[in-house]
């Protein structure tokens, strides 16, 4: 087995000194007396990996304190693929992962938090490889579902996994978090080893239709045409934008003005602008976002628009997946895949369009 190992040596330093994260706060963390925690956790994971492996493990590592020292302390003789130097940053993490891809590793084992997970995931996706990744938790905030529960769990899972499944990589706005507000962003969906010792993504609040609508209204952009589908959830958004929705109809809004009320397909097409966003909610119990009750939003409209899906958490729990039936096979296919769904003021969940 070939495993690439990269350690974020500053991950988690801001936690014990009250900084709620280390992004942009490394110097302040050190001034407050923060001590690195990632190296020790990396060694613990790698020692467990060496003990649990039933076959020879070949480690590829970033140099120095980004993996090499920890691998040697754990009893490995690793292949060093990068030389990041003493002062490291996210670019060094990305360079290491790129080198792991060139070495055709079977797994990327990283040590850090959500920020490190984002760097690893985006690098793997940019390389267009299906290499799985697994995190050794060392950061202050762990919202992604790509981490093992403990460092020892990470070592055991890396040594013994047999299959993978898609999991979410999330991160939060640390400045907002320090102000008491949790804003999560989904960055990627990646293959991760399947095991009970891999944690689920962290739930970040209930979210209501009212807060969803208020959050959406706060984030509307100028010069964007919003095609607002029927339904009670999107109806709440229409009210938050300042107008009463048409009964079971499609309404089109831009820059504070209703351009079309209870619109037909032709009326929607007539008022579309340079950038258009369709806002739609799935039908409860069925999951259809197009092709049921909103035929005015035709393939011609969809082809000229982005799609934003909104829903309550309870509705998503009921539907399981999203569905489309637009009478156009090419459009249906373009809509399939993973879709972010807004479920609260800031919160989003991931659901697959099938």
- In three-state secondary structure terms, 343 is coil
Tens-digit pLDDT profile for the chain (354 aa)? Answer: 999 999 998 876 544 433 445 555 555 555 665 567 789 989 999 999 999 998 899 999 999 999 999 999 999 999 999 999 888 889 999 999 999 999 999 999 999 988 899 999 999 999 999 999 999 988 766 778 899 988 999 999 999 999 999 888 988 665 555 454 556 678 888 999 999 888 766 544 456 788 899 999 999 999 999 999 998 999 999 999 999 999 888 999 999 999 999 999 999 999 999 999 999 999 877 888 998 888 899 999 999 999 999 998 888 877 889 999 888 889 999 999 999 899 888 778 888 998
In the CATH scheme, what architecture does the domain 209-353 have? Answer: 3-Layer(aba) Sandwich (3.40)
Check residue 20 and give its pLDDT: 43
**pLDDT score for 18:** 38
Class of domain 2-193: alpha beta
The predicted structure's pLDDT at residue 134: 98
What per-residue confidence (pLDDT) applies to 26?
A: 52
Phi, psi of 196 (to 5 degrees): -65, -25
What is this structure's pTM?
0.61
pLDDT at res. 168: 87
Pairing verdict, β 184-193 and 164-172: antiparallel
Domain boundaries, the chain: 2-193, 209-353
Nearest alpha-carbon partner for 135 in 115, 160, 163, 162: 115
Distances (CA, A) of 175 to 117, 142, 179: 19, 16, 7
- 2-193 matches 209-353 in fold: yes
- Name 128's Cβ contacts closer than 8 Å, sequence gap at least 6: none
Identify the three-state secondary structure at position 21.
coil
For the stretch 91-132, pLDDT in tens is 999 999 999 999 999 999 999 988 899 999 999 999 999 999
What is the structure's pLDDT at 34?
A: 52
Using CA atoms in the order 48, 111, 185, 316, what is the torsion angle rounded to 10 degrees?
Answer: 0
Helix extents (H) in the chain: 26-31, 38-52, 68-73, 90-102, 114-126, 151-160, 174-178, 209-218, 232-240, 265-271, 299-303, 313-319, 329-335
- Residue matched to tokens 């996706």: 125
Beta strands at 251-254 and 275-280: parallel, antiparallel or unpaired? unpaired
């Amino acid at each position: 087995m070939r495993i690439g190992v990269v350690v974020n040596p500053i991950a988690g330093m801001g936690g014990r000194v009250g900084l709620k994260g280390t992004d942009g706060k490394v110097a302040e963390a050190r001034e407050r007396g923060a001590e690195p925690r990632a190296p020790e956790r990396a060694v613990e994971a790698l020692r467990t990996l060496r003990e649990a492996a039933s076959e020879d493990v070949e480690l590829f590592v970033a140099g120095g304190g980004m993996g090499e020292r920890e691998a040697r302390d754990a009893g490995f003789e690793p292949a060093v693929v990068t030389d990041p130097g003493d002062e490291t940053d996210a670019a060094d993490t990305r360079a290491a992962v790129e080198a792991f891809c060139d070495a055709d590793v079977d797994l990327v084992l990283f040590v850090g938090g959500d920020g490190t997970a984002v760097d690893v995931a985006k690098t793997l996706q940019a390389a267009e490889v299906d290499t799985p990744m697994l995190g050794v938790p060392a950061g202050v905030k762990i919202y992604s579902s790509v981490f093992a529960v403990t460092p020892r769990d990470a070592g055991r899972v890396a040594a013994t996994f047999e299959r993978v499944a898609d999991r979410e990589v999330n991160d939060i706005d640390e400045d907002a978090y320090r102000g008491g507000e949790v804003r999560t962003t989904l960055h990627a969906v990646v293959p991760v080893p399947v095991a009970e010792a891999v944690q689920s993504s962290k739930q970040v609040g209930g979210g209501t239709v009212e807060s969803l609508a208020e959050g959406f209204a706060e984030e509307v952009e100028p010069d964007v045409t919003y095609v607002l589908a029927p339904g009670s959830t999107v109806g709440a958004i229409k009210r938050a934008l300042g107008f009463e929705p048409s009964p079971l109809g499609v309404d089109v809004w831009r820059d504070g003005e209703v351009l079309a009320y209870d619109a037909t397909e032709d009326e929607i097409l007539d008022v579309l602008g340079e950038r258009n966003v369709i806002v739609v909610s799935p039908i409860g119990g069925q999951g259809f976002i197009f092709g049921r009750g909103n035929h005015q939003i035709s393939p011609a409209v969809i082809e000229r628009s982005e799609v934003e899906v909104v829903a309550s958490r309870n509705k998503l729990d009921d539907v399981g997946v999203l569905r489309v039936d637009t009478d156009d096979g090419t459009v249906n296919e373009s809509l399939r895949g993973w879709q972010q769904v807004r479920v609260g003021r800031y919160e989003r969940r991931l659901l697959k369009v099938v």
